[in-house]
Amino acid sequence: MSEARAAAVVRALRRATGYVRLYGPRHALTEEAVRETAAALDGLIGDRAGIMLGAADDTLFLDGHALGLISLQFNAFVREVLAAGIETVIATPPVSHADAAALVHLIAGEGGGPTGGSIVVNGAKGVAVAADDTTPVARLRRAYTRSLDALRGFGRSVVDGDPPTLEDTAAVVKDLLDKSLENPAATLLLSTVKSHHEYTFYHSVNTSILSLSLARLTGLPERDQVVLGIGAMLHDIGKIGVSRAVLQHPGRLDADQWAEIRRHPQLGAEAILRAAAPGEELAAVVAFEHHARFDGSGYPRLVYHDGTRHPHGEGGHHHGHGHGTGGRHPLHFYSRLVAVADTYDAITTRRSYRRAESPSRALQVLLAEAGRSYDPDFVTAFASMMGIYPPGTFLRLTSGAVVMVVSPSPDPGAMPAAVVVRDAAGNPVAAPEPVAFSARDIVDQVGPAALGLQPADVLESLPAGV
């Protein structure tokens, strides 16, 4: 419960600082957001004498306990807090409106911040990194954070016109590879992390994680996995050239908006080619082809140097092998693989124009479109990797308890590994514990929104060996 209340504090602070910058400190929206911040802080304190929030190494701490997932979900905001010079915030009840406002203004760069009263900033120095922030999961989380940094850095270089390189991207892909080898199940669970505010960056990291996992399953050599991972990481980087209004448009796009969206594969491929060192050029192919579709019905419509066109893989000089003419297919091996991972993560993520679907529903979409939109071999391999109930799926059992799938079963006929997250009465469990169940025990699937719980929330508290 503390994590949920801490997330409410961070969310309110982020909203309030954004309103200060947009509308100024006296605007009604700013004042309301400050009141929400004060109330959220009081809610986090509860019946305690006070709490200390700290920030160090891109991680938020509550009374010395690392808030790992919250730090990752609000990574950009944590950076703002650190950039404002804030190491600790000590809050005691009741939190006054004036002190909450001063804290907001300090983060926003609009004032000196509180020095006493109900909020004290930097009253305690040197926040120690908690022991639980040195675990394999914590190391994996930091690899994810570094991936976000690499994406932001590459995007800034493109926007500012500076010569970009793929050096940082290649380094974080190799890091993700190493960490995923340590704990494949945790890596798949971490790929469920979402951010509505930075959808493209988080979606790109998740797509890279899923693509690397699938590439490893197919036996792709590690040196080739790195290039594929770079392409997956940067597959949507061309969206930095698309207006935010179009990307977040809640309804059907008009012709001009759709034309703008359709440009992002080319923009991304051009940016990657400018940055690519010898041997990295194939990453640009992934960005260019990831929406082309297996049957050629997507975009852009591809024309090859011998004058042939896709769809139907007619003639020509093709990339890789598959279900095209003569056993070949015009889309590159990497592009067909990444398209499956890209679609799975997109379907399971909430967007401004639609709700998030369940992992099982995402698999159903992929299977239904296998052989048309997606390479059937990669869809089959992906479904095998994820299992009938993919990691992060919440299931309600006949007992009333809710369990979360943590890893697929190596035996196709067996149920996946899972832990209890809600007891039979619907109460959150203090610590998730492994549970055995059969297909007959499953009543239905439960969406994360209905539980107020994200799969990655559970990842941080899983018992060792799960």
Q: Is 41 contained in some domain?
A: yes
Does residue 99 sit in the same domain as residue 154?
Answer: no
Measured CA to CA, the distance from residue 151 to residue 149 in angstroms comes to 5
What is the average pLDDT score of the chain?
87
Does residue 47 sit in the same domain as residue 128?
Answer: yes
Q: What is the pLDDT of residues 3-52, one digit of tens each?
A: 889 999 999 999 999 999 999 999 999 999 999 999 999 999 999 999 99
Q: Which of 133, 166, 190 is the last residue of a domain?
A: 133
Q: Is 465 contained in some domain?
A: no
Does residue 152 sit in the same domain as residue 118?
Answer: no
Q: Is 338 contained in some domain?
A: yes
Domains in the chain: how many in total? 3
Q: Is 253 contained in some domain?
A: yes
Does residue 398 sit in the same domain as residue 352?
Answer: no
Q: How confident is the model at residue 458 (pLDDT cuts 50, 70, 90)?
A: confident
Q: Is 466 contained in some domain?
A: no
Q: How confident is the model at residue 466 (pLDDT cuts 50, 70, 90)?
A: low
Other Cβ atoms less than 10 A from the Cβ of 156: the count is 12
Q: Is 18 contained in some domain?
A: yes
Q: Is 402 contained in some domain?
A: yes
Does residue 249 sit in the same domain as residue 346?
Answer: yes
CA angle at residue 381 from 141 to 304, to 5 degrees? 100
Tell me the whole-structure pTM to 2 decimals: 0.87
Say if residue 328's pLDDT is above 50. no
Backbone angles phi, psi at 139, to 5 degrees: -65, -40
Say if residue 321's pLDDT is above 80. no
Does residue 246 sit in the same domain as residue 355?
Answer: yes
188: nearest Cα among 167, 213, 170, 166: 213
Does residue 31 sit in the same domain as residue 167?
Answer: no
Return all residues near 94 (Cβ < 8 A) that are at least 6 apart: 42, 118
Measured CA to CA, the distance from residue 174 to residue 282 in angstroms comes to 17
Burial of 461 (0-12, 13-18, 19+ CB in 10 A): middle
pLDDT, position 5: 92
Measured CA to CA, the distance from residue 288 to residue 280 in angstroms comes to 14
Measured CA to CA, the distance from residue 94 to residue 110 in angstroms comes to 24
Structure tokens of 343? 């679609």
Measured CA to CA, the distance from residue 116 to residue 419 in angstroms comes to 44
Q: Which of 105, 133, 161 is the last residue of a domain?
A: 133
Q: How confident is the model at residue 438 (pLDDT cuts 50, 70, 90)?
A: very high
Does residue 150 sit in the same domain as residue 296?
Answer: yes
Q: Is 464 contained in some domain?
A: no
Q: How confident is the model at residue 106 (pLDDT cuts 50, 70, 90)?
A: very high
Measured CA to CA, the distance from residue 103 to residue 358 in angstroms comes to 38
Q: Which of 99, 133, 167 is the last residue of a domain?
A: 133
Bridge partners of 62, per DSSP, are: 53, 65
CATH number assigned to the domain comprising residue 321? 1.10.3210.10
Q: Which domain holds residue 248?
A: 136-386
Place of tokens 């095209």: 324
Does residue 142 sit in the same domain as residue 181?
Answer: yes
Does residue 207 sit in the same domain as residue 260?
Answer: yes
Bridge partners of 56, per DSSP, are: 59
Does residue 308 sit in the same domain as residue 424?
Answer: no
Does residue 179 sit in the same domain as residue 231?
Answer: yes
Q: How confident is the model at residue 465 (pLDDT cuts 50, 70, 90)?
A: low
